[in-house]
Structure 1
């Protein structure tokens, strides 16, 4: 799927503003917007998602969201109420609604009733599915779990009240990252490390059931940007470093086996660097971005760098 997403990102035609209130659909089979067109979908593609029907969704900067289904491309953009930077994250709820999140909030699209988007939030947010099909919305330092667009609950995470000791972009940031194979829930912050919640414990404001991970525990930095589980149940963290008032010389890639952390100090770009993205492919290989370096594939003891 990774190769498919990357290939489609490069080959899909550019989108533009449209006058209709419904998504503009172009049939790739008529040749006018063929998937073999070498024109890029957009200059910046910042999100990709596969829905329950096999449809692919791509978020862009300035050009809205593109939906590819059965050789047909539909664009959702400002003519449907989606702000220019509104499509950084995409998820799907059990009722088939598509959730679109970005700098300007969270918007709901009903594929069965195309038209203007429903506005759920108007502040910067992210959306993410868990293994049960719930949608998690992270916004303004809070996280909410939705069974559908009408049923939600706030999930309380015991993030320290005091501001981080080092500079952070969003000091109150709290993001739901994923549910692992054991049902544990993982959250990231900007400056306060990561949190794991054990669902066998009773959720309560006093932090019961939560484990807090920071640099003192072996985390690469207190700002994990992405968290992922591999095929062996180990948890990977892509971390960034703080730069102000001075560079902290931390960040990088680290792996947690349930007991201790492993880092990669001898691999250029995977230590004391900014890492933003992790991906697990169907062969069990871990892929990681590395700022100013390229993309790494890690499979067992083999680490391969892909760059220009």
Structure 2
């Protein structure tokens, strides 16, 4: 199974059918209609704003799109990309861009694309995520584990497998769902079936379902201003071949110190899948659920926004707008709280 395929299958289906661009957050999502032909991509997997203010949108099948404030331009295999599957883009300190693709890690210098294959097998070259840490070390997450990249070659970085009491999907046990760095320089690895692992440069600490997580299938992590860790998970039982058994715990946990808590009162936080948690410039936490829209947490209360797609990407731009990408296209929550579907035709402002 492919990573995005698993995500799409896991998030059930979305209501994406016609042409209305503005969404009243008080209305039900089934009243929203989307013109699929005009979407940035059927699946918008990543959103990034570069140092010049350009917006980039990774897609699963359409390459990567860039909006420069005036026009939208797509880059695909015809332009030199090794694959039209682009799950993320990052900008290095030297202005060079790095793209996660379905056929290796790609460097873009503004003119040319240069591709770096991790290995000879499919899983190693399926790049899921990239972290350029505070020491400028490149950590590359693949379907075949973690690699460190020195700009020329890759070296496998071994992470121990903790003992778990839940059934492991052999097809996905080496998948790295995310890599993040906290304020203290610890590196966190998110794994499908083996929880989350913190690496302090010398030793590994695992956090699992037995410690309080909803699931060992960890999809997302974010750190708030107080040093707490927000953890998103998916329902592990989704992998069960029996449709009647595809139900279980999944959603959102918060780790305060070494204590892991949940939010049983919030819809979608305890028995569903969460693929995105994002901290914006004002330290507000945004959490995207599969069936219950997006929640904004200001440190005191949760506010819900009815976004009619399953979210794979979130990013706040320099103007304070929150961009949302996922299965069904691209949306933006303006500072006024208005939810808008942004297509190839806009509206961009």
TM-score of the aligned structures, taking structure 2 as reference length: 0.67
1:231 aligns with 225
The 2-side partners of 1:87 and 1:185 are apart by: 23
Contact 2:143-2:174 within 8 A present in 1 as well: yes
1:146 aligned to which of 138, 141, 149:
149
1:240 aligned to which of 231, 234, 239:
234
Query: Shift of the alpha carbon at 1:119?
Result: 3.7
The 1-side partners of 2:301 and 2:171 are apart by: 34
User: Are 2:137 and 1:134 aligned?
Assistant: yes
Contact 2:45-2:57 within 8 A present in 1 as well: yes
Query: Shift of the alpha carbon at 1:74?
Result: 3.9
2:250 aligns with 251
Q: Given the superposition, is the C-alpha separation of residues 70 and 237 from structure 1 closer, same or farther in structure 2, using an over 3 Å criterion?
A: same
Q: Given the superposition, is the C-alpha separation of residues 162 and 182 from structure 1 closer, same or farther in structure 2, using an over 3 Å criterion?
A: closer
User: Are 2:102 and 1:108 aligned?
Assistant: no
1:118 aligns with 115
| Paired residue secondary structure (1:88) | strand
The 1-side partners of 2:66 and 2:187 are apart by: 29
Please report the RMSD computed on the Cα atoms of aligned residues, expressed in angstroms.
Answer: 2.8
The 2-side partners of 1:280 and 1:131 are apart by: 18
Contact 1:92-1:135 within 8 A present in 2 as well: no
The 1-side partners of 2:114 and 2:176 are apart by: 26
Q: Given the superposition, is the C-alpha separation of residues 190 and 92 from structure 1 closer, same or farther in structure 2, using an over 3 Å criterion?
A: same
Query: Shift of the alpha carbon at 1:71?
Result: 4.1
Counterpart mapping for 1:49-60 below 5 A = 49-60=48-59
Contact 2:231-2:253 within 8 A present in 1 as well: yes
CA-to-partner distance for each residue in 1:17-73, whole Å, 9 max, x for gaps?
xxxxxxxxxxxxxxxxxxxxxx54333321112334443321112221123346454
TM-score of the aligned structures, taking structure 1 as reference length: 0.75
Contact 1:295-1:305 within 8 A present in 2 as well: yes
2:188 aligns with 186
5+ residue gaps, structure 2: 1-19, 22-37, 309-349
Counterpart mapping for 1:203-242 below 5 A = 209-242=203-236
2:335 aligns with none
Query: Shift of the alpha carbon at 1:180?
Result: 0.2
2:320 aligns with none
Contact 1:91-1:135 within 8 A present in 2 as well: no
1:157 aligns with 159
Query: Shift of the alpha carbon at 1:108?
Result: 1.9
1:33 aligns with none
User: Are 2:29 and 1:42 aligned?
Assistant: no
1:76 aligns with 75
The 2-side partners of 1:115 and 1:258 are apart by: 45
Contact 1:108-1:120 within 8 A present in 2 as well: no
5+ residue gaps, structure 1: 1-9, 12-38, 202-208
The 2-side partners of 1:302 and 1:169 are apart by: 39
CA-to-partner distance for each residue in 1:251-273, whole Å, 9 max, x for gaps?
11001112201101111111111
